[in-house]
Chain A
Amino acid sequence: MIATNQDRLIAISVAGEIVAPRMPALPAMPHVISKDGRPVLVPPLGGIVYNVKVGDAALGWVAENVHPGVSIKSRAEGEHVALHTLACVGNEARVMTGEAKGRKGTVTGKSGRWSEHLIIHFGKETLDALAIGDRILVKALGVGLQFSDAPQVVTKNLSPALAAAWGITATKTTLNVPVVGVVPAELMGAGSGLSSDGGVLDIQTGDAGLLASAGLGDLKIGDVVAFQDCDCTFNSGFHKGAVSVGVVSQGDSQRAGFGPGVTILMTSREGAIHPAKKAGVNLASLLGLR
């Protein structure tokens, strides 16, 4: 197993509530405008999504950036920032109130500017027992995680559990990181210039041909992907030669500049990440989510 400093990291409680989906107030129209100019009425972000889970298709849903499973946030600003920043992909979540009290889930990603939800996977029986407003605790562990052999790789939103399950190896100071595909710089979209300690970086899907030629035409929620020429050390943005890797946390978008949102897991401005393409590198199998 790849060596890290996980023994030195603090596990700390953060919490939030299952958010209700929200629509804009009148007189605003409830539609989003698609990239080809159509007003479309689709479910907004958040809530409890019963029929989309990690491992399902990322493309094709009649929705905007659908979040699989459960979305939570805290209504108290400072608590919200702590929840959104400190929780990491692969962390354990526990239901603290309501009918599903005591059930456990797994953090699978975050969402971006305008929503900043934490996205959590629960089994089907638990989903059916959950209610909007239920309080969820997350044992946040992972901020500060460092690979012992790769000082030029900075982790983001990455739990030690996922790092251990991923199959990463090191060649000298470069990490060989299994991914399903590499996103070309042209398709880096919304999220550029915004925080990488939380939030997402979207894969633009407007050019289906370019997406398919990058091997991403059959993208799934939970897939691990790399961004070429992308630095996410402080914020996200174009940087020639940099490589970042993350997990597809949300479904596709119909808006220009948006697409499946990727929660960044690691980045190297110096390019000390070698994306090793491999089919089926997905959170569902890596973490045994069902």
Chain B
Amino acid sequence: MLRTNRDSLVKMAVAGIVSPPTLARGVHRNRATGEAFVPIGMAGIIYNARPGCPAFGWEADHLEPAVCIHCADAQEDYALHYLANPGNDATVVSGEAKGARGIVMGEHARFIIDFDEADMELMCPGDRVQIQAWGTGLRLLDYPHISVWKLDPRLLDRLGIQEAGGGALRVPVTHVLPSRIMGSGWELNPEYVDQDICSNDPATVKAFGLETLRTGDVVAVTDADHALGRGYRKGAITIGLINHGNSWMLGHGPGCMTLLSCATPKIEPVIDPNANIARYMNCGVFASKGATT
């Protein structure tokens, strides 16, 4: 097991509500090719798509599978964003599903949490959900040149990371993507929300096998340094997590959160089609009956 500072990390409660989907007046948005669509897929309770589902193929934009939560107070919402991490435990604390347990699976405009389908049947937008936030500040003690973002330490343990010697780590990933096809999210921080993969170009989708992406997949992005912000750096490598489904908007597509980043090629991606956090956490579409952890 990789040595970390996990015993020094504070675990604290942050909370939000199940997000009602919202639409702006003039509801349409444009596809990259210009056609209008009504945005559906973000926020709310998604009954028929859970983490681990395909990222492509849905008649939905930025699909956030399972349950989304946010906080109405802007500063509490920032705390939710900066403190909660994939792999954290979540509990419903109000409403008919009170007591139901879930797992944080991603951070987008809202937090994406997987719950059992039976629990989702009982939930309602506005129900309060609390997360035991843990992982912000996580460091790899023997790999100070590799930064860690958005990871519950227990999820880090399940990523199948191997030590490769010479200060390098070997990480199973489903896809390796070049920095140049990354889109919306250069302007954001790796600690705050994902970066989309530009999927508007069919040739690029085919060239990098994007159509087989699943939410929950662990991927590598080459020549991408996410140590401080997100930037192009030759030889740098970032390990990401696919948090939401495809988008039809130009410069958008499946979302890629930042998990690990190194300014030099000291992370070696190893292709493994099963590298998916829903599989690792036994939840989402890969959940065994009756178990979510």
Contact = CB atoms under 8 A, between A and B. Distances in A.
Interface string A216-241: 00000000000001011111111110
B125 interface: no
B196 interface: yes
Interface string B23-40: 000000011111000000
Nearest to B247: A193
Contacts of A202: 186
Contacts of A189: 186, 231-232
A278 interface: no
A187 B230 CA distance: 12
A234 to B, nearest CB: 4
Contacts, number: 127
B228 A237 contact: no
A255 interface: yes
A174 interface: no
A231 B234 CA distance: 23
A191 B196 CA distance: 12
A229 B200 CA distance: 12
Contacts of B30: 234-235
Contacts of B5: none
B203 A240 contact: yes
Interface string B161-181: 000000000000000000111
B167 to A, nearest CB: 19
Interface string A171-200: 000000000000011111111111000000
Given A192-B183, A238-B201, A186 B231 contact: no
- Among B34, B198, B201, which residue has the most Cβ atoms of chain A within 10 A? B198
Interface in B58-83: none
Contacts of A238: 180-183, 198, 201, 204, 251
B250 interface: yes
B249 A188 contact: no
A234 B234 contact: no
A185 B249 CA distance: 18
Contact of B32 (A35, A206, A210, A235): A235
B10 to A, nearest CB: 19
A193 B201 contact: no
A44 to B, nearest CB: 15
Interface in B209-254: 223, 225, 227-234, 249-252
Contacts of B229: 33, 35, 255-258
Contact of A210 (B187, B227, B234): B234
A129 B234 CA distance: 47
Contacts of A125: none
Contacts of B282: none
Nearest to A257: B186
Given A190-B187, A235-B251, A257-B186, A204 B232 contact: yes
Interface in A20-56: 33-37
Contact of B231 (A185, A239, A242, A256): A256
B252 A235 contact: yes
Given A191-B186, A193-B183, A258-B186, A236 B250 contact: yes
Counting from the closest, the 8 A-B pairs by CB-CB distance are: A193-B184, A237-B251, A256-B231, A193-B251, A256-B229, A190-B187, A257-B186, A235-B250
